[in-house]
């Protein structure tokens, strides 16, 4: 299959984001207790219930890993990008509560990256979505 430049750009962008999310999950899962404790400590003074922080920190690596795996193989790409954006929005919320504005800026870049991929979903190739096409509107 020969890809035009737009299709190639989308595939490479999808693979890059997928690898990023997958690696976030894979490096955190083996040390989940340490990761969770670090997040709980960081949010100790935040106006969030500690049980909510703990649940989020526990689930986050698994959600990141799942998003990454789906994007890498190109399966359910649109829903995976939507969930990725919801994750980024939750991270922006948490970082804002901690007043970590530089981190919020980094997360906004992730958001723009995801938006760009969503806008170009019709260019998705080399993917399992080709078996079950996603809506283009």
At 105, the pLDDT band (50, 70, 90 cuts) reads very high
Q: How far is CA 95 from the centre of its chain?
A: 16
Name the nearest CA neighbour of 59 among 67, 69, 70, 49: 67
- pLDDT range class, residue 130, cuts 50, 70, 90: confident
pLDDT reading at 132 higher than 60? no
Q: What are the Cα distances from residue 32, in Å, to 49, 59, 113, 134?
A: 20, 10, 27, 34
Mean predicted lDDT score pLDDT of the chain = 95
User: Domain ranges in the chain?
Assistant: 5-123
d(CA 59, CA 99): 23
DSSP 49: -
Are 53 and 39 within 8 A, CB to CB?
yes
């Amino acid at each position: 299959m020969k890809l035009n430049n737009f299709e190639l750009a989308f595939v490479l962008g999808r693979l890059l984001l997928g690898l990023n999310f997958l690696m976030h999950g894979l490096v955190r899962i083996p040390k989940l207790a340490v990761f969770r404790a670090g997040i709980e400590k960081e949010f100790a003074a935040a106006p969030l219930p500690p049980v909510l922080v703990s649940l989020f920190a526990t689930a986050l690596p698994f959600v990141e890993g799942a998003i990454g795996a789906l994007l890498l193989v190109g399966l359910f790409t649109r829903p995976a990008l939507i969930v990725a954006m919801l994750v980024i929005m939750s991270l922006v919320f948490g970082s804002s509560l901690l007043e970590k504005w530089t981190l919020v800026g980094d997360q906004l870049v992730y958001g723009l990256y995801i938006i760009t991929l969503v806008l170009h979903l019709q260019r998705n190739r080399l993917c399992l979505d080709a078996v079950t096409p996603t809506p283009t509107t």
